[in-house]
Every structure is written in structure tokens, then in C-alpha cells.
Amino acid sequence: MLIVKYFIKLFKTLQSDDRPQDIARGFVLGMVMGLTPLMSLHNLIFLILIFILRAHLSMAILGIGVFSILGFILDPLFQSIGYSVLTMESLQGLWTDLYNTPIIALSMFNNTVVMGSLIVALIALIPMFYLMIWFVKYYRDNLDEKIKKLKIVQLVKTSRIYGFYNKFSGGN
């Protein structure tokens, strides 16, 4: 039932009047949080950004969920990237200075997985933002009506679970 609930929420979000930029912003901020280890200081910053930038909270949660799974799979890659960056001879002075800074030391940047995953997430942030804007617009223009006509969607919409969820979630 929980999965059905999230699919309903996802489709309602894609069909809503929310701006594609807000939906994409929520998704990519969630992506960063999902790709990186959850209990990191930078994730607290990204959580605050979700609220300050008026990002779509449901899409942020979806981004965290999807990219947490992907992040777990990509951990060996993140570890290699982080190790390479943290052992670069030219950056040793920077890492030492940062590690000796009290708040920065709490960020766990000296962990290879944290460093590698944060680098990958930040590199992917802007392309994924524009890809999500494109996807939301494409969905609304080309896929929305087709998906509404699918038999499985019509079956779910006539089910008691959907009716019950819709009644108590304030949906239409």
C-alpha cells in the first residue's frame, strides 16, 4: 500500500500546477542527500536548502529514496574517487587546514566515501536539475493523457485503496 501511495503522489505531483523548477529542485536536492551518507553535515545543509528554496518536499523524499539505493550500489566508485582526491599531493595542505577547522572536521570530508559521493553528487546536480525540468514538461505535454488511459491506472483509480487515500489526503 505504501508503494501505491507514493506512485499516486508522484503522478499527482507531475500533474500538478507546481512549477517544474520547484519539482526539479526538490528532486536534485534529494539526489545529493541520497547519494551521500545520510548522517553527514552537508546533508543538514541540503535539508535546510529544501525548505529555504521552496523545493518540492515529496520529490526530495523520492530523490533521497531512489538515489540512496543507487548510492549504495556506487559506494566502491565513490570510495575510489574520494581516495584519489584526498591523496592528491597538491591538496594535502588544504585537507590539513580544513581538518583542523572545528566545524569542517564534523563534515566527515576526510572519509573517502563521503568525499567521493559528494563530488559525484555536485557534478550531477546541474545536469539532473535541467533533465528533471525537461522530464516534467515532457510528461505534462506528452505522457499525462496516455498514462491516464492505461488500464492499470484506471483499475487503481477505481480501487478502494485509491478512494480511501484520495478521501483522506485531500485529493481530487
DSSP secondary structure letters along 89-100: GGGHHHHHHHHT
Kindly report the average pLDDT of the chain as a whole number: 85
Q: Residue 172: helix, strand or coil by DSSP?
A: coil
- Where along the chain do its domains lie? 2-169
pLDDT at 164: 61
**pLDDT tens digits, one per residue of 57-101:** 889 999 999 999 999 999 999 999 999 999 999 999 998 998 888
Give start and end residues of each alpha helix (H) in the chain. 2-15, 20-35, 41-52, 57-73, 75-86, 92-99, 102-105, 112-138, 144-148, 151-157, 160-169
Choose among 49, 72, 39, 41: nearest CA to 125: 49
pTM of the model: 0.81
